[in-house]
Structure 1
Amino acid sequence: MADDLLLGIDVGTTNIKALVFTTGGALAASASVATPTERPHPGWAEHDPHTLWQAVVAVIRRALASIDDLRRVRGLAVASVGEAGVLVGAGGEPLTPIIAWYDQRSAPYAQRWKTHDDPLETFRATGMLAAPIFGIFKLQWLRDYEPEGYAAATTWLHVADYIAFRLCGARTTDYSLASRSMLFDLRARRWSESLIDRAGLRGDLLPELVVSGTRIGAVTPEAAAETGLAPGTVVGAGGHDHVCGALAANVRRAGDCLDSMGTAEAVFLPLDDIPLDERLFIANVSSWTHVTFGAHVARDRYYVMDGLFSSGAAVEWMRRLAAPGASFDEAAAEVETLAASAPPGSMGVLFLPHLAAGERGAFVGLTTSSGRAALARAVYEGLAFEWRHMLDTIEGMLGVRARTIRAIGGGTRLPVWLGIKAHVLGRPIQVLDMDESVALGAALLGGIAAGVYHSEDEAVNALQIRERTVAPDVALHALYERIYREAFLRLAPTLAPVHTALNDLEMI
């Protein structure tokens, strides 16, 4: 086991990564490339399946270049964004583009569902409130606007499933990815025939459901020739990216909380069970932020999650404004320096960080004194307030309080942002020295599938991950508590009709 290696593939919003790990979680090799994305119309984003596969092939080859004996790579699995997928034909050929998870072309279908369907019944089955991102509405759009591809298709595969299919030929999906379709009965752990019928979709398109970490096949000779992997390398079922990250961070039990700080940011709490009752539904509908429930990649576990689609994207947006033309690292350092130089409270400027997936954000409280530093700090503070609100909402709905908050992802490399978040929360944040948790979680699932680990406990306990604690300042927490309660919580509801009007005007 000491000489064994595992491969984790992470197909994300911004980048595709292939990382090779030792069984103790140490990084042995890595490669990354930008996720190829096309934007054919305003509000649309999609990926060409062939181009996406070639990008995965390229990063696998680059990651394996420094590995002396490819037979040491015992197993692999793929993690990906949750709501994007592709229709595949009988011969394995992709028949439609991959509609990106954040694409808004399916918004009319989601709105129609909200108007004509029983949202409580849908919530009780799926743990979800209708939103354009979910697979059910992408499939409806493809049925109506790509009818030839839809008719010829034999399987709908999520992005991670499609990459695994190209590697080993298996047409499967795991429970965590199925949870993002709004066609999956969470408690029964099967596709919902009722929802499929109500949506007017073909149930035969939905793939076989398997537990994450299940051995689904082995790398074929054809895939081996393309990627450089050894033929016969075990392919395991991976899962939804945030959920794979939670496995690597050992956020598997009730009382744990994960802050996954990527391009999108999630509040993630594992659950022993899912109380999908009318009280929880009403609480969810009443909030401006709607939580979703799903199946964990950890066996027999569930989760509750809320997401800020534009978290890391908002920081990147601020980087481009603060240091146009600078390198990524230089721009990041400039934003950190600016935010640190502004006083807590950003001189009265508030930032509403709703910049993606059809939402609109705002700066409020601007004066002639509001310079770059105040705006940079306001972005960090607004993100921290929004994350706090999502956590408060979940804890209030479920009547629980997270014992620990663990942070992973690229945002953990920004100490000013992390410090502000701890002050806003008034709670310590445990920061894991784990930049690539999603790929590591996928690699662990590949290791379980290959028999390198005999259980999830063995896999997680084998990791040798350092962590540090970011503690809150009591005085700063008191200040931020007032800003949060007296100002920030009023911001989104107050601006909602203005943003609705702007959206309507933009469509004229």
Structure 2
Amino acid sequence: MGADCFSVENLFRDGLMPHALLSIDQGTTNTKALLVAEDGRVLAYGSSAVPLDLPRPAWFEQDADVIWASVLDAAAQCLAAAPEADVAGVTVSAQRESVVAWSRSTGRPLSPVIGWQDGRTTEFCARLAAGGAAEEVRARTGLRLDPMFSAPKLRWLVDSADLGHDACLGTVDAYLVHRLTGGAVFATEIGCASRTLLLDIRKGAWSPELLELFGVAPELLPEVRGSADGFGVTAGFGAVPDGVPVRAVLGDSHAALYAQGCHTPGTAKATYGTGSSVMAPADGVDGFSDRLSTTLAWQLTEPVAALEGNILATGAALETTAGLVGADGGESVAALAATVADAGGLVMVPAFAGLAAPHWDRGARGLLLGLARDTSPAHVARAAIDAVAHQVCDVVEVIDEESAPLTELRADGGGSRSELLMQTQADLLGRPVTVAATSELSALGVAQLAWSAGRGDAGPPPAPVARVYEPRLDAARREEARAGWRDAVRRSSGTEARR
């Protein structure tokens, strides 16, 4: 660990044991802040929405200044709710593959944030793949050459943004660390770096070969650090006094995996947000999957590897469906779906920006299959719920084949609050779905990792459970539903659409 790391034992000895860590979770649609005590208790909470801009089809952007303002707002709400708390440190979890350019001297953005689900670099990736680059990328990074990951977006910024002489490029975690420390620290966490297509996953360092391939100069990129190696101290961070250590940083999905207690193969979690991350720890970084990503979940003393399937549209599928059926948001879609016994033969494939894992078909198009004269808005809503669960099943089936088979799936995120979605998930998986008692596992997980790093222990037990959903669907009906889904995915594919 670096020199910035703290020791809980020393703090006890010196009589300075802190009250809590302020944990920031910067996600796609909002920023949340939690005050987390060492025993895992959440002492206070704050939240601030972040809008998403869609300037062109398949383009997803956000304003980096608005993101920073949301961090200040959420933190201020949280601290105001517990004014007596002593803030011993700050931790950060962040959306991962999204990128931004900003000024090293001022911290002000030089570009919009290009979101992880953005598809503007699809043709660029296709050209690189046609030139034979896909295998080299996979061999060094464990990832597919896909526009979801950061490097194609970073190249787009190099070509399109007015970067200037003191520009920085990086993922959202690096941007936030730079702003939190008043520009003193320009660093990214190794797990977030492993999602860029630029990190040699075995060496834990930027790959010169991949930097050249994507045309990104190394001096534009942050230093790579371990998850709790220390990220400087706060400076000018709103209600937080200057000099508070930034203890740990994680990608949001990685932090949820940690909080769920998924530290060994055979365990896995699914986070239901705008998109979804289905992630399971893996035995090292060898034997890369062709259908899933190999990533670094976190690094304390040694890096922990994981298999992951990223789904582009889960919560986004419900929000889009809300517009189709006249509902007021994703929760209203779930309520409408619950008014019918099933989807009435309707199947939805929410390929609004193509499909990611395990299909990797950016040419796929959204599809509603099986429309009939008696199809109702409730059937469309139910098909959207089914589509979220089917996409998660697709990833779990690959984990079963390529790693240790799962006996259960641990669920978190906003979508895990839907009883209908969780029951549907258990039915289509044919195994239990265990829902965490709190949906704020990303902020909780990175705080727990910081406390564990200070103590030098193995980490906390799994997050408390709110409910376990047992499958109710018999095997024949489950397979019938899964077969219908697979047929719909085939029909939605870019290859089929061009025939």
TM-score norm. by structure 1 comes to 0.86
- Is the Cα–Cα contact under 8 Å of residues 360 and 499 in structure 1 kept in the other structure? no
Residues 167-219 of structure 1: per-residue CA shift (max 9 Å, x gap): 12311111111011100111111111111122222122221111112222111
CA contact (8 A) 1:238 1:445 kept: no
Equivalent pair of 2:365/2:492 in contact (CA under 8 Å): no
Q: CA deviation at 1:90?
A: 3.8
CA deviations on 1:322-380 (whole Å, 9 max, x unpaired) are: 454x4x5xx72x43443333234x22111113234665321111111111222222222
CA contact (8 A) 1:8 1:446 kept: no
Aligned partner of 2:90 in structure 1 is 76
1:233 and 2:244 aligned: yes
Aligned counterparts of 1:377 and 1:39: Cα–Cα separation in 2: 26
Instruction: Name the SS for the 2:431 alignment partner.
Output: coil
Aligned equivalents of 1:100, 1:489: Cα separation in 2: 28
Residue in 1 aligned with 2:126? 111
Once the two structures are superposed, residues 91-139 of structure 1 have per-residue CA deviations (whole angstroms, 9 ceiling, x without a partner) of: 1433332222222222232122111133222111111111112221112
In the TM superposition, 1:135-146 aligns within 5 A as 135-146=150-161
- Mark the CA change 1:399 to 1:291 in structure 2 (over 3 Å): closer, same or farther: closer
337, 350, 353: which one aligns with 1:339: 337
Query: Does the CA contact (< 8 Å) of 1:174 and 1:209 recur in 2?
Result: yes
Shift of 1:446: 4.1
Q: State the distance in 2 between where 1:320 and 1:79 align.
A: 31
Residue 419 of structure 2 corresponds to 415
Q: Distance in 2 between matches of 1:108 and 1:76?
A: 40
The reply on whether 1:23 has 2:38 as its aligned counterpart is yes
**Larger helix proportion of the pair:** 1
Q: CA RMSD in A?
A: 2.4
- Contact 1:5/1:22 (<8 A) preserved: yes
State the shift of 1:69 in Å.
2.8
1:282-361 map, 5 Å: 284=290, 290-299=291-300, 300-324=303-327, 326=328, 332=331, 334-344=332-342, 346-356=343-353, 359-361=364-366
* 2:201 is aligned with 1:190: no
- The equivalent residue for 1:89 is 103
**Contact 1:408/1:437 (CA < 8 Å) preserved in 2?**
yes
Asked if the contact 1:234/1:446 (under 8 Å) is kept, the reply is: no
Name the structure 2 match of 1:375: 380
Shift of 1:159: 0.8
CA contact (8 A) 1:76 1:446 kept: no
Match of residue 506 from structure 1 = none
1 CA distance for matches of 2:396 and 2:378?
A: 27
What displacement does 1:395 show?
2.4
Cα distance change on mapping 1:464 and 1:97 into 2, 3 Å: closer
- How far residue 497 of structure 1 moved from its aligned partner, in angstroms, is 4.2
Taking the aligned partners of 2:488 and 2:285, their CA distance within structure 1 comes to 31
Match of 1:203 among 218, 233, 240: 218
* Cα distance between partner residues in 2 of 1:112 and 1:499: 21
1:337 and 1:100 mapped to 2: Cα distance? Answer: 29
Q: 1:406 offset after TM fit, Å?
A: 0.6
Q: Is the 8 A contact 2:105 2:166 kept in 1?
A: no
| 1:440 and 2:444 correspond | yes
Corresponding residue SS for 2:97: coil
C-alpha distance in 2 between matches for 1:193 and 1:456: 35
Give 2:456's aligned residue: 455
Per-residue deviation at 1:425? Answer: 0.7
Query: CA-to-partner distance for each residue in 1:281-304, whole Å, 9 max, x for gaps?
Result: xxx2xxxxx421110125421011
Query: What's the offset of the Cα at 1:474?
Result: 4.8
Q: Does 1:466 align with 2:465?
A: yes
Q: 2:233 aligns with which of 218, 227, 243?
A: 218
Given that 1:157 and 1:171 are in contact with CA atoms closer than 8 Å, whether structure 2 keeps it comes out as no
Matched, 1:258 2:269: yes
Higher RCO, 1 vs 2 (CA within 8 Å, ≥6 residues apart): 1
Q: Distance in 2 between matches of 1:500 and 1:34?
A: 37
Residue deviations 1:32-89 (CA, integer Å, cap 9, x gap): 122144444443332332232122112211111122235x121221111111222333
Contact 1:135 1:181 in 2 (8 A): yes
2:433 corresponds to which residue? Answer: 429
| 1:164 matched to 2:161 | no
User: 1:127–1:292: 8 Å Cα contact kept in structure 2?
Assistant: yes
Runs of 5+ consecutive residues of structure 2 not aligned to the other structure: 1-11, 355-361
Task: Give the whole-Å Cα distance in 2 for the aligned partners of 1:308 and 1:260.
Answer: 10
State the distance in 2 between where 1:174 and 1:365 align.
46
User: Using the alignment, how far apart are the partners of 2:171 and 2:353 within structure 1?
Assistant: 21
* Alpha-carbon distance between aligned partners in 2 of 1:456 and 1:296, rounded to the nearest angstrom: 17
Distance 1:228 1:479 in 2: 55
Q: Which runs of 5+ in 1 are unaligned?
A: 285-289, 503-508
Matched, 1:53 2:71: no
- Write the distance in 1 (CA, Å) between the matches of 2:280 and 2:441: 16
- Conserved? CA contact 2:45–2:77, under 8 Å: yes
Q: For residues 143-174 of structure 1, give each alpha carbon's deviation from its aligned partner in whole angstroms, at most 9, with x where no partner exists.
A: 2112x40x524532311221121112311111
2:458 is paired with a residue of what secondary structure? helix
Rounded Cα–Cα distance in structure 2 between residues aligned with 1:499 and 1:10: 40
Asked if structure 2 preserves the Cα contact closer than 8 Å seen for 1:426 and 1:472, the reply is: yes
Cα distance, 1:193–1:139 mapped onto 2, change above 3 Å:
same
Cα distance between partner residues in 2 of 1:77 and 1:276: 33
Give the number of equivalent residue pairs. 471
Which of 260, 285, 288 in structure 2 is aligned with 1:274? Answer: 285
Q: Which deviations, in whole Å up to 9, do the C-alpha atoms of 1:5-36 show, x marking residues without a partner? A: 12211111111111222223332222212214
Is the 1:12–1:81 Cα contact (8 Å) retained in structure 2?
Answer: yes
Please give the TM-score of this superposition, normalised by the length of structure 2: 0.88
Structure 2: distance between partners of 1:439 and 1:208: 23
- Tell me, yes or no, if the aligned pair for 1:76 and 1:447 is still in contact at 8 Å: no
Q: Secondary structure at the match of 1:132?
A: coil
Percent of aligned positions with the same letter in both sequences? 27
Mapped partners of 1:37, 1:488: distance in 2: 29
